[in-house]
Structure 1
Amino acid sequence: MGNTEKWMNQIMELKFTSKSLKRRSRKCEREEKTEKLMIKKAMEKGNIDGARIYAENAIRKRTEQMNYLRLASRLESSLHTGNLRKMSETMDSFEKQFVNMEVQAKFMESSMAGSTSLSTPEGEINSLMQQVADDYGLEISVGLPQPAAHAVPTKEADKVDEDDLSRRLAELKARG
């Protein structure tokens, strides 16, 4: 009988953990929305670097949210099947990932003073910033690569370049 009670306690603990993961996921979602609003405010003030930092934070919160949801989903599917071995493996995985997230968070906090570049891909940051600008109807350049005016050659520029090259070639021939 003591063994059954032990399993029931573990199952209740796993259910509680699953709910806790969902709660953390919702918290990350709210924090992501807050960061997006901060992106908007920074862009309105012309603070593109600040907006980039808020975009990195929003992307990080989105990733964290998805990780919590994945773990909760795995845990719940294990609870519904009653496969205690799978539950144990899922919990072990959760513990490892949670410890890794804590270590990464501490490392980021300690290294933030020395570095502003994080592992968030530049393309994702630019995309999120552009999305926020579009959502709020902001007409602002967020530092995305734009075609430069000088990148499109004109006939006038080609003519000048050809004249310059012809002149230099003639000088070289005169020397030789």
Structure 2
Amino acid sequence: MGNAEKLMNQIMELKFTSKSLQCQAQKCEKDDKFQKIRVKKSIEKGNMDNARIYAENVIRKRNEQMNYLCHSSRLDVVVARLDTQAKMTTINKSISSIVKSLESSLNTGNLQKMSGTMDSFERQFVNMEVQAEFMESFMAGSTSLSTPED
């Protein structure tokens, strides 16, 4: 149980860090908009030197925002993989106990118990397949979001 708790704590910390990065990206976006307004006002006043400086700030803030979002996306992928690992560990433990139960059913010849164990075994596999499909689609979506457009 200790390893499972550590893994869940790591997942929560990574989720928190990802949210923090997203908040930083939002702050950069707000600052970006503010700097754009300053550029516009400076151009209207005819002060091109200040407009150039503010425009550089806009570009810098935009790049900073994209970096925060990229790192957040990467952390989300790591969290998804760790979450999958935690679920697979749980499923492996369940399957192991089911196999032991099935083995004891086979040894005693109790068909009802064996049938119930097999049904439980099939449910575990169906659950595992659904989780695997979900994680594959999530991974495909998250990696396509983190891939640069150019």
> Scaled by the length of structure 2, what TM-score is found?
0.53
How much does 1:81 deviate? 2.3
1:37 is aligned to 2:37: yes
Unaligned 5+ runs, structure 2: 85-150
Q: Tell me the number of residue pairs that the alignment of Structure 1 and Structure 2 aligns.
A: 85
Structure 2 counterparts to residues 22-171 of structure 1, below 5 A: 22-82=22-82
**CA distance in 2 between partners of 1:56 and 1:81 (Å):** 38
> Which residue of structure 2 lines up, in the alignment, with residue 150 of structure 1?
none
> Which residue of structure 2 lines up, in the alignment, with residue 16 of structure 1?
16
Unaligned 5+ runs, structure 1: 85-176
Bigger radius of gyration among the two: 1
> Scaled by the length of structure 1, what TM-score is found?
0.46
How much does 1:83 deviate? 7.5
Checking the alignment, whether the CA contact within 8 Å between 2:39 and 2:54 is kept in structure 1 is yes
How much does 1:4 deviate? 1.6
Deviation beyond 3 Å, 4+ runs, structure 1: none
**CA distance in 2 between partners of 1:15 and 1:42 (Å):** 41
Aligned residue identity for 1:70: C
How well do the aligned residues superpose, as a CA RMSD in angstroms? Answer: 1.8
Checking the alignment, whether the CA contact within 8 Å between 2:35 and 2:58 is kept in structure 1 is yes
**CA distance in 2 between partners of 1:4 and 1:83 (Å):** 11
* Percent pairwise identity: 61
**CA distance in 2 between partners of 1:43 and 1:69 (Å):** 30
Aligned residue identity for 2:67: N
Aligned residue identity for 2:16: F
